[in-house]
Every structure is written in C-alpha cells, then in structure tokens.
Amino acid sequence: MSNESDGDLIFKALAHRRRREILDLLKDAPRTTGMLCEAFTDMDRCTVMQHLKVLEEANLVIARKDGRERWNHLNSLPIKQIHDRWISAYAGHALSILDRLKNDLES
C-alpha cells in the first residue's frame, strides 16, 4: 500500500458482497474467468468481469493470460497490509472493551 488512497481502493473493492465471494473462491485456487462465471450463475459474464476489474484496480486480483484463457489469482498482500496498519488496532480496541465489560459484570 503505497499511500492512503490505495487503502481507499482496497476497502472500496471489499465493499461488495459479490466481490468478497469472488475472492473467497480465489483463496482456494486460481480460476479462469469462465470458471468464475460458472460459479455465479445468477450474474452475467459482464457483471463478473466488472467486479474483476474493480478487484484488479485494487491489486487484489492479478490476471495471467494462458492461451485464450485468463487465470485470475488472489493477491492477499494488500488485505494483510490494511490488517496490519489498521484493522488489527481496532480489533484490539474491541477486545479491550469486551474485557472491561466482562470484568465489570464479574465484579
């Protein structure tokens, strides 16, 4: 993540349930665009490709051409970066609140 606006792009890409579902599939293994379309029969090919474009712009998906096929690979590093720089501090904050609440209830 080179700067804060990259963070904006990543969070924006994650802000759609369908895009998170695509990433969940790619977490298991790379897939061709055709395979992704088959996995989401309720979306047309154009919509799947639009979601892939947003994910590529946020650097969360890297595409490799192999002949006529386009293999989509997950790049999880930007998610690790927002985790380390940002999310983990808030998860820690929430845990400390929950601990305090638990202690208050017990005392």
7 binds its own copies (CB under 8 A): yes
Q: Give the binding-site size for its own copies (rule: CB under 8 A).
A: 32
Angle at 23 between CA 34 and CA 18, to 5 degrees: 80
14: contact with its own copies by CB under 8 A: yes
Classify residue 51 as exposed, middle or buried by CB count within 10 Å of its CB (0-12, 13-18, 19+): buried
- Helical ranges in the chain per DSSP H: 4-14, 17-28, 33-39, 45-57, 77-82, 88-106
Residue 54 interacts with its own copies (CB under 8 A): yes or no: no
Instruction: Give the range of 20-28, 37-45, 49-57, 64-72 binding its own copies by CB under 8 A.
Output: 20-28
Query: What residues make contact with its own copies under the rule CB under 8 A?
Result: 4-5, 7-8, 11-12, 14-17, 20, 23, 27, 74, 76-77, 79-80, 82-84, 86-91, 93-95, 97-98
